[in-house]
Structure 1
Amino acid sequence: MDPRQAWKEYLRELCFPSNDSSDEEDDLFMEGMRAWQADLEESERRPWGGGSVPGRKCINRYRHEGHMRLFNDYFADPPVYPDYIFRRRFRMKRDLFMKIVAAVEEKDPWFVQRRNAAGELGLSALQKVTAAFRMLAYDAPADSLDECLRLGESTIIESMRRFVNAVVQVFGDEYLRSPNEEDTARLLAINSRRGFLGMLGSVDCMHWRWKNCPTTWAGSYTGHVNAPTIILEAVASQDLWIWHAFFGMPGSLNDINVLHRSHLLDDLAAGQAPKVNYTINGQDYTMGYYLADGIYPEWATFVKPIPAPVGRKRQHFVVQQAAARKDVERAFGVLQSRFPIVRGVTRLWDEETLSAIMTACIIMHNMIIEDEREDDDVDYAYEGAGEDVQASHDVTPPLMVLSQRYNAIRCKQAHVNLREDLVEHLWQLHGGDV
């Protein structure tokens, strides 16, 4: 029996189990089955993402002319627009952009330019990647890019989705990693010149408004912003490099709730983080710390400001702590300026794509910092900088050891002692007396 006929008989048995249906009921059943079969056949003929659909007029966008104009404007030798305009519009230098294009094209064959059945060249990788960049760098609607880049709206959105996923897969391990021994030694050396011995960076959270949040989720994603938002927790250093990014928590949570769910301190608790040894005011410490604002808990790994400081020493500490803690706020500002899509109201629907967009923007932000870093301004070759950092590659510790490490991280007394020692140390550097 034909599979479709068998399916019809099965549905008939479900609808009329007694097998004594009337002729009128049989006619209604067959009419419904014919309509269902017609819809099924139409959906099988309809291509995904638009294309040639019966009754739809195909628009000739002159794709090749669009590619040649884009190439002559920015990538020819010489181009129409000089380097400083390319840097402003693409947020990075041309060499770095071409590096990303080549890596994405190699990772995802969808970006490779091909010929169709008629022998005509399709869209180039430059057109697809540029369309994705314009959405990220200008927060532009996909339909607004059709005129200049000659891509349809659905193709631009697909380009953006595939582009951010490819960037995360290709560059994520290198440009969104936890600090290794060399990185930790450099961070400690840089921050020691600022008076904060043992500091690894500053931590804070940022909200990204989600316009098209599903209605059923709106309550859990709405917090103090009075609109659905998604939270990014990040750690940044003085050069605005983002070392830690934890994205996806609903906006109804505060910074403490996000901290309890993030992986910021997991490596330290598991013994996988580089071991740090330093001395402040005559006291020895073995854990690095992050500068944080007042909402964070009083743990040994955070240094918070002193509320209502009394005395010149404590007031001086609060000023210095706030100045250094602004590193992460500056990183958020530069990230949002380079990629306004994470600053405005996102119009996408699925959380997975939003996570890929945020992660890809952070990765490219770090790539730009590395590419444009002026080593002459800051001397990273500190003599003996790595003497106080040892590699730590412990296997998964027993539960009791893990519990002891978490207790050490959350020790309030260690937090108070560290802050008081920093108060004295910064005051001595300031050269003041009581």
Structure 2
Amino acid sequence: MSQSRLLSSRVLDESSWDVDDEVIIAASQIVQSASQRKPGGSVLGRVYIYRDREAGHTRLYQDYFAEHPTYGPSVFRRRFRMHRPLFLRIVNAVEQHDDYFQLKRNASHQKGLSCLQKATAVFRMLTYGVPADATDEYVRIGESTTLKSLRRFVKAVIDVFEDEYLRTPNDTDTARLLALGEERGFPGMLGSLDCMHWRWKNCPSAYQGQYSGHYHTPTIILEAVASHDLWIWHAFFGLPGSLNDINVLHRSPLFAKLSNGEAPQVNYNINGHNYSMGYYLADVIYPSWATLVKTIPEPRGNKNRYFATAQEAVRKDVERAFGVLQSRFGIVRGPARLWDEETLSDIMTSCIIMHNMIVEDEGIVDPDECFENGGDNVKPSHDRTADFEEFIANHKKIRNQNTHHQLREDLVEHLWQHHADRYS
């Protein structure tokens, strides 16, 4: 008979009310074994795994964050896609913004996961695109905790850094972009525009027809504008992959501030003609708007050939930005495994924000992050919003085809006269 049954039988037996040493010993052993038993999870059927989180944090800290870490700066840069000071800046900001990442004790007074453990697990998913369960063995963090940390981390990054690192160009930014464009032979250029598809592996069955396009698999579209330094100035994400670039452009907020009269003033002269709106270099699929400059398909003559070569070379800036973004954050290169579009949008937006932070921190692009397949808080510049008639006039001005063709002809002459030797 076991000790617990022996104790129960003696308690129930009226003839054994006398407390003796054997009963006291048996009771103490039962209490001791119950107190040493590890607490189980709150979910029915879940098996508790003792992961030794404190040892995991100690090992992680010694590997990367100690004064003399096991893995040096070059290994840290390769595995986290950024230098350690920038990583710690992001982690500290997220920890202050969301107390979920602060070290706490649970109901049984055991220490939880540290902010470094949660952030490292999140970065393993973002940079390598691995499943949430793949981080458990090293970081000592469960799958459900990793997914929750991922969702809260990307939201915190957006809340803290979006206003600064995913801003539309202000007056200073516009002046710098215009100067860079003029140096490269395109006065008035603000960047290059294109779209990228992110495959949605776990797209719900009800949405698969809507999100499947020419890739014959569900995808979500990202529209972006990038400059020569690969800074992404505009990101519009979330439209289904069944749309093309023109459909995305018609729904994009890219020219919203320009229509409202809130965009910075842009004035320049090309070949004797004055222009008051900046433009973006785009592919041939885009419409012939005054704010877009496309290449010349099948160009004839030396001037047109020079222009087509120069336009296609500079337009690759946005494709290079897509390639570097996918190289730094493998999660947006591989198929998306999450189910809800909101989380995917937060992941894409936060990766773009951290991409811009890396561009600001390093200033150059690492050769290993090249495109594989070819492919301070800002105040509004103007306080006044355009009225309805002015809005309609600006709207028509943006889509003026005559201005588009005149601008392209002027750029052909400008490149031929001043920059033809660069592309010979």
State whether TM-score is above 0.5. yes
2:398 paired with 1:415: no
Separation in 1, partners of 2:286, 2:200: 25
CA drift of 1:422 comes to: 0.3
- Read off the aligned partner of 2:418 and give its amino acid letter: L
Separation in 2, partners of 1:201, 1:139: 29
- Aligned pairs (5 A) from 1:98-117: 98-117=88-107
- Residue 72 of structure 1 corresponds to 62
2:133 paired with 1:143: yes
- Aligned pairs (5 A) from 1:244-259: 244-259=234-249
Confirm or deny: 8 A CA contact 1:292 1:304 kept in the other structure. Answer: yes
Secondary structure of the equivalent of 2:120? helix
Poorly superposed stretches of 4+, deviation over 4 Å: none
Secondary structure of the equivalent of 2:222? strand
Count of residue pairs the alignment pairs up: 368
- Unpaired runs of at least 5, structure 1: 1-49, 376-390
- Residue 331 of structure 2 corresponds to 341
- Read off the aligned partner of 2:163 and give its amino acid letter: D
Secondary structure of the equivalent of 1:303? strand
Confirm or deny: 8 A CA contact 1:104 1:167 kept in the other structure. Answer: yes
Separation in 2, partners of 1:329, 1:131: 29
Confirm or deny: 8 A CA contact 2:80 2:123 kept in the other structure. Answer: yes
Confirm or deny: 8 A CA contact 1:271 1:394 kept in the other structure. Answer: no
- Read off the aligned partner of 1:147 and give its amino acid letter: E
Confirm or deny: 8 A CA contact 2:185 2:419 kept in the other structure. Answer: no
Q: Cα deviation per residue 1:354-393 (whole Å; 9 max; x = unaligned)?
A: 0000000000000000000169xxxxxxxxxxxxxxx841
2:385 paired with 1:396: yes
Identify which of 403, 407, 414 aligns with 1:425.
Answer: 414
Question: TM-score if structure 1 supplies the norm length?
Answer: 0.83
- Residue 232 of structure 1 corresponds to 222
- Residue 295 of structure 2 corresponds to 305
Identify which of 357, 363, 384 aligns with 2:347.
Answer: 357
- Read off the aligned partner of 1:428 and give its amino acid letter: Q
- Residue 28 of structure 1 corresponds to none
- Read off the aligned partner of 2:221 and give its amino acid letter: I
CA drift of 1:394 comes to: 4.8
Separation in 2, partners of 1:134, 1:276: 42
- Read off the aligned partner of 1:405 and give its amino acid letter: N
CA drift of 1:55 comes to: 4.7
Identify which of 45, 51, 60 aligns with 2:50.
Answer: 60
Identify which of 172, 177, 189 aligns with 2:179.
Answer: 189
2:287 paired with 1:293: no
- Residue 222 of structure 1 corresponds to 212
The two structures, once aligned, show a CA RMSD in angstroms of 1.4
Between the aligned residues of both structures, percent identity stands at 64
Secondary structure of the equivalent of 1:244? strand
Change (3 A) 1:131 1:315: same
CA drift of 1:103 comes to: 0.4
- Residue 92 of structure 1 corresponds to 82
- Unpaired runs of at least 5, structure 2: 1-39, 366-379
- Read off the aligned partner of 1:292 and give its amino acid letter: A
- Residue 273 of structure 2 corresponds to 283
- Residue 356 of structure 2 corresponds to 366
- Residue 130 of structure 1 corresponds to 120
Change (3 A) 1:90 1:60: same
- Read off the aligned partner of 2:405 and give its amino acid letter: V
Confirm or deny: 8 A CA contact 2:170 2:381 kept in the other structure. Answer: no
Secondary structure of the equivalent of 1:132? helix
Separation in 2, partners of 1:245, 1:285: 26
- Residue 380 of structure 1 corresponds to none
Confirm or deny: 8 A CA contact 1:270 1:394 kept in the other structure. Answer: no
